[in-house]
Amino acid sequence: MLEKCRNAKERWGGVSTIIDHWLEERQQLISTFVSIPAQEAGAPLNSSVGEFCDLLMDYLSSGHFEVYEQLLREGSEFADGSLEQAQQLFPLIQPSTDQALDFNDAYGSLDTPTLQQLCQLSRDLSDLGETLEERFALEDQLIEILHNAHKDLVDAS
């Protein structure tokens, strides 16, 4: 997952300040995500999970309220079918948002986890990781469709 994020930054980095910042948030989110299972016994798991949840909520918010809006604005300026293509992806992204919100609700303020919560956390992290990987691929498609397709035209303006 981290390697795919690096590839996305290399591919689209420098194209847009908002997208650059968002991809940096993604990389930080992934780094925090992969560090959670590697925590040593006795380490404050609740604080790393809380930090991950904070980053996750920031990432989702940036996507929905900044990046997607910018991409849709760009796409609407061109009557080339890219906007319609991208709008087909949004319903595919929404379930991952719902799952991430549920994860945040369950673990965002995990004070003293029980053994049962720790076991469930492990399963939920695994499921969320798979979902996030799918989400990142869909978001990369959005960038490709709505931004890169018009990059040369926008740069020429």
Does pLDDT of 16 surpass 60?
yes
Domain that holds residue 40: 2-156
- pLDDT-derived band at 151 (thresholds 50, 70, 90) equals low
Domain count within the chain: 1
SS (H, E, C) the chain: CHHHHHHHHHHHCCCCHHHHHHHHHHHHHHHHHHHCCCCCCCCCHHHHHHHHHHHHHHHHHHHHHHHHHHHHHHHHCCCCCHHHHHHCCHHHHHHHHHHHHHHHHHHCCCCCCCHHHHHHHHHHHHHHHHHHHHHHHHHHHHHHHHCHHHHHHHHHC
CATH number, domain containing residue 11: 1.20.120.1370
- pLDDT-derived band at 18 (thresholds 50, 70, 90) equals confident
User: For 36-60, what is each residue's pLDDT tens digit?
Assistant: 877 654 556 778 898 999 999 999 9
